[in-house]
Amino acid sequence: MLDNPSLTLVPGFRAAAVHARVKASSPPEKLDVAVVASDTHAVAAGVFTTNRVKAAPVSYDQTILARNTAGIRAVVINSGNANAVTGAQGLADAHTTAEVAAAALGVEADSILVMSTGVIGQMLPLDRLLPGVTAAVNALDPAADAGHRVARAIMTTDTFPKEAAARVTVAGRTVTLAGVAKGAGLSAPHMATLLSVIVTDVAIRPAALRAALEDAAGRSFNCVTVDGDMSTNDTLLVLANGRAGNPVIDDPDSPGYTEFLDGLRQVSAALARMIARDGEGATKFVTIRVTGAPSWDVARQVGLAVGNSSLVKTALHGEDANWGRVLCAVGYSGAEVDPTRLALWFDEVQLVRDGAPTDYQEADAHATLTKPEVLIRIDLGQGDAEAEVWTCDLSYDYVRINADYRT
Amino acid sequence: MLDNPSLTLVPGFRAAAVHARVKASSPPEKLDVAVVASDTHAVAAGVFTTNRVKAAPVSYDQTILARNTAGIRAVVINSGNANAVTGAQGLADAHTTAEVAAAALGVEADSILVMSTGVIGQMLPLDRLLPGVTAAVNALDPAADAGHRVARAIMTTDTFPKEAAARVTVAGRTVTLAGVAKGAGLSAPHMATLLSVIVTDVAIRPAALRAALEDAAGRSFNCVTVDGDMSTNDTLLVLANGRAGNPVIDDPDSPGYTEFLDGLRQVSAALARMIARDGEGATKFVTIRVTGAPSWDVARQVGLAVGNSSLVKTALHGEDANWGRVLCAVGYSGAEVDPTRLALWFDEVQLVRDGAPTDYQEADAHATLTKPEVLIRIDLGQGDAEAEVWTCDLSYDYVRINADYRT
């Protein structure tokens, strides 16, 4: 992983963000329109929400990615308005946004992708958004700060910007990967809007890039939010411009694919952990490690059930070692667990062995929860597979933030 | 529905509850051991949690109901300790509890069912529990107050006792049904422990009683909590002593089955609505009515997705008409909804038509949420079926209660 990560660490990419007042009440310092541009056509792949109520930019990007063969030149992102549940007008507005960006860049509209996050059910304020898009295009810059500004522009209730970057060697060439993400709303992972853009200079074909993105997303973002149960807007995009000059990666069996995938997993996992750390109202970062599973899928399924439990997360917030709630979530996870084989630790303190409480000391169990980082380890006693899930506690502030989001 | 409902309205049933200090820190006025007894052997049926981590009393009752053919004489219920994740010792303790009750009643141990609710992972304090069981048996009383005391004894974080009763005419005879329930923890329906005992004097065979209970539970308790996703302890029991003298109901085609089922649905639904009304920290009672569905199952599935959404429930707490979150939950419910056909109302205010916002006034929408009872209606535009789901808002107090449950 690289220090001082920024999208613009990747050769051939420029970035910019401006304050366009997408949300009328936003303060002047709130950046809310960002553009990430590739100097040349880039291969692109996306992972999108599976919600049947899809935001307009999701439908728009899916259409573009399905028909675009020439490559992508830019991604336009706005915060402050999700352009979701906005019907045909919303789709037209996504298209208009792409056209304005394309005109400013001097490229074809089909080479532009769009992302939106914010409140649902309100039309995009095009009168303010479109001048912002043009201004951002005109401000595109390869400096590190431009990437940092993008990371800030896509924030909604996030409390800190999320950036990560890595370098790996692919078939003898140095490949750089850098990404930004926004998250929040973790206690309702069904509806946490998650946006992420990762750029890289690897040379790769679309199908191989798609395979790598799906693998990396499954082990990172989908270990924070529940895959198959996403918000109206969730979108992960990766753009690869080929500047690294490695032999083009054709498919997962090509030389260098594994090394590139490793870099993509690193960046994705780093961004995903930041999202958990910054869950709305979070005061603790919680890692749930499930071991002894018959498969990685089962391990993740169990971890997500525990990580999504409001009762587990309120207990963690209260620093109450109420491990019964953890086992209860394991029990309803849908996995075929054998209760008599379960073991459970909070950090190094073993609380359950063979499905029954150990003679641990309450004070020791409590002490593990007083720290800002908590590790819950569950062993299913059924195999060798394991997975990690990241989450946070559920606090008063979660309720405060979400009781009053629109005002 | 009957006024001043009590279990003891049903001829042939007596009740009692005592303070046994199951939870060492409980105040002297907290009743925590209850017995509901039938003067004669009663036909019984149960619906139990499907959690793979089952509490000992759940496994115990399932075994008894599978092998008992003579009938049930009593149900022993304790609050303050769930006897869950307590291994072989927990199962032995459930058995011992039944034996002590049976000895005090002068009946066989196999005719006793047990229920527990409270903290998970601690052994039952038999030294205090068992004298309480004997004392409760010795205090059995047919007075209305005895039934009220049972309703109070089974409460944990519930804020009020839950009782309901109804009379129906079954093949010309008057049949009485009465029930008690405890709930709470609604925002995590996966883990809300729900206990309910319903008694009736109908004459019915076990298979028919089981069919009626499953039907009624599906339209009541399972419209509050998610079926298939219950806590370690959830248990609904119904006991029927046959005193009403109706021709025995053999199966769902027998005369009177429909009328009895109607009574059972009435009592179950009344108790289920009370559970929603008393969700932990609840300040609003929320009805989600899904219409225009292709089937009742789909309508309930959509309703439960909305009713379980933390983001919907925090918005309701904040009286924020953030209806986008409702549609988002509809979208990830798993139902095959067509977003362009969705309509949505808060009370009488229509917010969405054909999947797009109407030109409603924000003040009107807000006004619907300032009341203690909120109605959300969703029309899927796909058919004639409908279902109702009941829930509550998600408040600061939910977090407070659950961050500190064990102390």
- Cβ of A403 and B231 within 8 Å? no
Q: Which residues numbered 299-328 in A keep a CB inside 8 Å of some CB on B?
A: 309-311, 314-315, 317-318, 320, 322-325, 327-328
Distance CA A179, CA A166 (A): 9
Distance from CA of B8 to the nearest CA of A (A): 34
**β partners of residue A396:** none
Nearest in space to A124 (alpha carbons), one of A155, A162, A98: A98
Give mean pLDDT, residues A119-144: 96
Residue B384 C-alpha from the chain's centroid = 28
The confidence score (pLDDT) of residue A21 equals 96
3-class state of residue B383 by DSSP: coil
Q: Which residue has the higher pLDDT, B398 or A335?
A: A335
Nearest in space to B320 (alpha carbons), one of B328, B311, B331, B329: B311
The confidence score (pLDDT) of residue B190 equals 44
Give mean pLDDT, residues B260-273: 96
The confidence score (pLDDT) of residue A226 equals 42
Q: What is the mean pLDDT of chain A?
A: 91
Is CATH 3.60.70.12 what the domain over B7-274 is classified as, yes or no?
A: yes
In the predicted model, is pLDDT for residue A156 greater than 80?
A: yes
- Cβ of A399 and B317 within 8 Å? yes
What is the per-residue pLDDT across A291-328, written as a single tens digit (0 to 9) for each?
Answer: 999 999 999 999 988 988 877 888 888 888 888 889 98
Instruction: Specify the DSSP element, H or E, that contains A292.
Output: strand A285-293
- A87 contacts chain B (CB < 8 A): yes
Could you tell me the CA-to-CA distances from A386 to A152, A225, A294, A302 in Å, in that order?
Answer: 34, 18, 8, 10
Residue A350 C-alpha from the chain's centroid = 32
* Pairing of the two strands B13-18 and B385-392: unpaired
Nearest in space to B198 (alpha carbons), one of B38, B27, B19: B38
In the predicted model, is pLDDT for residue B117 greater than 90?
A: yes
**A98: confidence class by pLDDT, cuts 50, 70, 90:** very high
Distance CA A11, CA A399 (A): 42
Distance CA B305, CA B312 (A): 10
List chain A residues with CB under 8 Å of B402: 310-311, 314-315, 318
3-class state of residue A396 by DSSP: helix
- B91 contacts chain A (CB < 8 A): no
**B407: confidence class by pLDDT, cuts 50, 70, 90:** very low
List chain A residues with CB under 8 Å of B320: 403-407
**B406: confidence class by pLDDT, cuts 50, 70, 90:** low
Q: Are the CB atoms for A260 and A204 separated by under 8 Å?
A: yes
What's the burial of B108, exposed, middle or buried (CB within 10 Å: 0-12/13-18/19+)?
middle
- Cβ of B85 and A336 within 8 Å? no
- Catalytic positions of A are 193
Distance CA B89, CA B124 (A): 9
**A356: confidence class by pLDDT, cuts 50, 70, 90:** confident
Q: Which residues numbered 176-195 in A keep a CB inside 8 Å of some CB on B?
A: 185, 187-188, 190-191
What is the per-residue pLDDT across A276-292, written as a single tens digit (0 to 9) for each?
Answer: 888 777 788 899 999 99
- Residue B120 structure tokens: 């998970």
Encode burial over A237-276: b for 16+ CB neighbours within 10 A, e otherwise: bbbbbbbbebeebeeeebebbebbbebbbbbbbbbbbbbb
Q: Measure the CA angle with vertex A24, ends A21 and A27; round to 5°.
A: 60
Give mean pLDDT, residues B105-119: 96
Which residue in the set B87, B325, B407 is minimally distant from A356, CB to CB? Answer: B87
Q: ipTM score here?
A: 0.76
Nearest in space to A108 (alpha carbons), one of A99, A117, A120: A99
Distance CA A88, CA A99 (A): 17
- A103 contacts chain B (CB < 8 A): no
The confidence score (pLDDT) of residue B239 equals 98
Give mean pLDDT, residues B268-272: 94
Extents of the domains making up chain A: 7-277, 285-403
- Residue B257 structure tokens: 């089955």
What is the per-residue pLDDT across B92-105, written as a single tens digit (0 to 9) for each?
Answer: 999 999 999 999 99
- Cβ of A51 and B331 within 8 Å? yes
Q: Which residues numbered 126-155 in B keep a CB inside 8 Å of some CB on A?
A: none
**B404: confidence class by pLDDT, cuts 50, 70, 90:** low
- Cβ of B190 and A332 within 8 Å? yes
- Residue B275 structure tokens: 């559970």
Give the residue on A whose Cα is nearest the Cα of B234: A328
- Cβ of B310 and A121 within 8 Å? no
Q: Could you tell me where the DSSP H helices lie in B106-186?
A: 126-138, 144-153
**β partners of residue B237:** B46, B197
The confidence score (pLDDT) of residue A402 equals 65
Distance CA B229, CA A329 (A): 9
Percent of chain A, pLDDT > 70? 94
The confidence score (pLDDT) of residue B188 equals 44
Q: Picking from A218-227, A278-287, B267-276, which range would have the lowest pLDDT averaged per residue?
A: A218-227
In the predicted model, is pLDDT for residue A407 greater than 60?
A: no
Nearest in space to A195 (alpha carbons), one of A54, A74, A47: A47
In the predicted model, is pLDDT for residue B229 greater than 80?
A: no
Nearest in space to A205 (alpha carbons), one of A256, A248, A254, A247: A248
* A25, A51, A53: best to mutate for the B interface, most B CBs within 10 A: A53
- Cβ of B331 and A232 within 8 Å? yes
- Cβ of B322 and A406 within 8 Å? yes
- Cβ of A85 and B318 within 8 Å? no
Distance from CA of B245 to the nearest CA of A (A): 42
What's the one-letter identity of residue A230?
M
Distance CA B401, CA A167 (A): 47
Distance CA B261, CA A259 (A): 64
What is the per-residue pLDDT across B272-323, written as a single tens digit (0 to 9) for each?
Answer: 989 888 877 778 889 999 999 999 999 999 998 898 887 788 888 888 888 8
Distance CA A331, CA A310 (A): 15
Rg value, chain A, Cα: 22
What is the per-residue pLDDT across B10-23, written as a single tens digit (0 to 9) for each?
Answer: 999 999 999 999 99
* B399, B404, B406, B407: best to mutate for the A interface, most A CBs within 10 A: B399
Distance CA A210, CA B195 (A): 49
B194: left (phi over 0), alpha (psi -120 to 50) or beta: beta
Which residue in the set A315, A332, A352 is minimally distant from B402, CB to CB? Answer: A315
Which residue in the set B86, B318, B337 is minimally distant from A52, CB to CB? Answer: B337
- A83 contacts chain B (CB < 8 A): no
CATH class of the domain defined by A285-403: alpha beta
Q: What is the mean pLDDT of chain B?
A: 91
Percent of chain A, pLDDT > 90? 71
- Catalytic positions of B are 193
The confidence score (pLDDT) of residue B189 equals 44
Q: Which residues numbered 338-397 in A keep a CB inside 8 Å of some CB on B?
A: 339-340, 342, 352, 354-357, 394-396
Which residue in the set A188, A336, A355 is minimally distant from B85, CB to CB? Answer: A355
- A262 contacts chain B (CB < 8 A): no
Look-up of token digits 């729900």: B194
Distance CA B98, CA B95 (A): 5
Encode burial over A100-123: b for 16+ CB neighbours within 10 A, e otherwise: bbbebbebebbbbbbbbbbbbbbe
Percent of chain B, pLDDT > 70? 93
- Cβ of A399 and B396 within 8 Å? yes
A85: left (phi over 0), alpha (psi -120 to 50) or beta: left
- Cβ of A328 and B122 within 8 Å? no
Which residue in the set A229, A339, A405 is minimally distant from B53, CB to CB? Answer: A339
What is the per-residue pLDDT across B309-365, written as a single tens digit (0 to 9) for each?
Answer: 877 888 888 888 888 889 988 998 989 999 999 999 999 999 999 988 899 999 999
Q: Are the CB atoms for A351 and A360 separated by under 8 Å?
A: yes
For B265, list phi and psi in degrees, rounded to 5: -65, -40
Sequential DSSP letters for A328-345: HHHHHSSS---GGG-EEE
- Cβ of A317 and B399 within 8 Å? yes
List chain B residues with CB under 8 Å of A86: 356-357
- Cβ of A121 and B327 within 8 Å? yes
What's the one-letter identity of residue A98?
A
**A52: confidence class by pLDDT, cuts 50, 70, 90:** confident
Q: A201: which residues sit within 8 A by CB, 6+ positions away?
A: A10, A11, A12, A175, A176, A240, A241, A242, A243, A244
List chain A residues with CB under 8 Å of B314: 398-399, 401-403
**β partners of residue A3:** none
Which residue in the set B310, B357, B404 is minimally distant from A187, CB to CB? Answer: B310
- A51 contacts chain B (CB < 8 A): yes
CATH class of the domain defined by A7-277: alpha beta
Distance from CA of A122 to the nearest CA of B (A): 8
**B226: confidence class by pLDDT, cuts 50, 70, 90:** very low
- Cβ of B315 and A402 within 8 Å? yes
**B228: confidence class by pLDDT, cuts 50, 70, 90:** very low
What's the one-letter identity of residue B35?
V
The confidence score (pLDDT) of residue B223 equals 82
- Cβ of B190 and A329 within 8 Å? yes
Distance CA B3, CA B144 (A): 12
Could you tell me the CA-to-CA distances from B269 to B41, B161, B163, B252, B308 in Å, in that order?
Answer: 27, 15, 11, 20, 18
Q: Which residues numbered 224-253 in A keep a CB inside 8 Å of some CB on B?
A: 229-232
Give the residue on A whose Cα is nearest the Cα of B193: A328
- A82 contacts chain B (CB < 8 A): yes
Which residue in the set B85, B191, B324 is minimally distant from A84, CB to CB? Answer: B324
Give mean pLDDT, residues B103-117: 97
The confidence score (pLDDT) of residue A406 equals 53
List chain B residues with CB under 8 Å of A310: 187-188, 310, 398, 402
Q: Which residue has the higher pLDDT, B406 or B171?
A: B171
Q: Are the CB atoms for A365 and A349 separated by under 8 Å?
A: yes
* A50, A190, A370: best to mutate for the B interface, most B CBs within 10 A: A190
